Amino acid sequence: MIRSLPSALTALAVTVALLAPAAAAAAPLGRTSLPAIERQVMCVTCKIPLNVAQSPQADRERAFIQSLIRRGYTEAQVKQALVAQYGPTVLGLPRAHGFDVSVYAVPVAVLAVVIALLLVLVPRWRRRAVPGSPDEGAPAGLDASQAARLESDLARFD
């Protein structure tokens, strides 16, 4: 039994080693496609997303991407090759320094302000709208006779 254990492990290791490349080739999980890349990159002359660009340069970029995909490049590798070929503007992302940081910072700041306002104002609104408060029926500043007259006038219009 003990002598057969190493040979069984060796056979298992050989089987896994032989089947691993076939399993990797058969599994298209995470496979890069032209439409997926086109949505994420820009035409460098049109300055619009590549998936809607109709120009000779856009066609050249698509052909370049397709050749990289045929070579088996991953999405990240295709993007790196595009940046090497056409420059960082092909990704269509603002730079992460200088004034372009505001593209990332302003939405985050606005969201933080909205959340802070909601945290302050919602409890106030909820306190103000408590049902059963004593002057719920009459507007502020009216005495009892004026409130009764207002209610009777409003009842006539219903």
E-assigned strands of 11-153?
none
pLDDT in tens, 14-64: 555 555 555 444 434 567 889 989 988 999 898 899 999 999 999 999 999
pLDDT(3) > 70: no
Helix (H) or strand (E) holding 2: none
- Model-level pTM? 0.47
Residues 30-60 as b/e (b if ≥16 CB within 10 A, e otherwise) read: eebebeebbebbbbbeeeeebbebeeeebee
CA max distance for the chain: 106
pLDDT band at 157 (very low <50, low <70, confident <90, very high): confident
The overall average pLDDT reported for the chain is 79
Q: pLDDT tens-digit profile of 95-114?
A: 677 777 787 888 999 999 99
Backbone angles phi, psi at 21, to 5 degrees: -65, -40
d(CA 79, CA 151): 71
Question: How does residue 88 score in pLDDT terms, banded at 50, 70 and 90?
Answer: confident
Q: What is the DSSP letter of 95?
A: P
pLDDT for 8 equals 55
